[in-house]
Homo-oligomer: A and B are copies of this chain.
Amino acid sequence: TRRGLPEAILADGKTPDETATLAVAAVETSGRALVTRASPAHAEAVADALPECDIDRDARAKTVVAYDSPFERPELDASVAIVTGGTSDAEAAGEAAVVLREMGASVERIEDVGVAHLGRVLDHLDTLREADVLVVAAGREGALPTVVAGLVDTPVIGLPVSTGYGHGGDGEAAILGMLQSCTVLSVVNVDAGFIAGSQAGLVARAVSDARNSE
């Protein structure tokens, strides 16, 4: 598969049937299929179409992974921390976590640390500093990646989340804030947990390869 990424299917906008057909093809080609933004109906159609597969479903992340029986996940010698500001960030962050797990990275979750409560951020400083790369999700004003990046030496990928209402709602303030950050960040699109996780995975793989090149 390209760039070591799992074959992924974005269920949203496809019928359960279309999704299942694409998942079957992905399992045939690569031994695994990762379905994102899957409703219960999508999840069921995939499981039904792949009765021989092991199925891993994460309802909060809205992902389904189907594995051919003999499938063996890669293993990377590198770790990624995923940080979120609140429960509304769970879906996007969960998507990132699943793709990272499939790429073989060690994943650490740090939840419910928000910029309005600096103490909670500071409590996790050690974990934040031990990771090789960070994905930091935030909605509303999206300031968390900026605050975190000021505390660590590792690359931070900002993941804006579509929370917030009114002017600048739906993640618009969050993505603009991350693009304007006064620290160093790179950014993905609003709710693009799969992209944030994959990019973090590519970095983790580069680190892992370097660690194991002799």
Contacts and interface: CB of A to CB of B under 8 A. Distances in A.
Q: This chain: how many copies in the complex?
A: 8
Contact of A171 (B5, B166, B191, B213): B166
Interface stretch (A27-35, A49-57, A67-75, A138-146): A138-146
Nearest to A158: B186
Interface in A1-36: 2-5, 12-14, 18
A40 interface: no
A45 interface: no
A95 interface: no
Interface in A183-205: 183-192, 195-196, 198-199, 202-203
A106 interface: no
Q: By DSSP majority rule, is chain A's interface helix, strand, loop, or mixed?
A: loop
Contact of A167 (B151, B163, B189): B189
Q: How many of chain A's residues touch chain B, expressed as a range?
A: 35 or more
Given A141-B143, A167-B172, A189 B180 contact: yes
Nearest to A210: B210
Given A154-B206, A211-B210, A188 B198 contact: no
A63 interface: no
Given A187-B186, A187-B188, A168 B177 contact: yes
A132 interface: yes
A190 B173 CA distance: 14
26 contacts: A2-B116, A3-B153, A5-B184, A115-B150, A116-B146, A133-B206, A140-B181, A141-B176, A141-B181, A143-B143, A143-B146, A143-B147, A153-B202, A155-B202, A155-B206, A165-B191, A166-B189, A167-B171, A167-B190, A168-B176, A168-B179, A173-B180, A184-B199, A186-B188, A203-B203, A203-B206
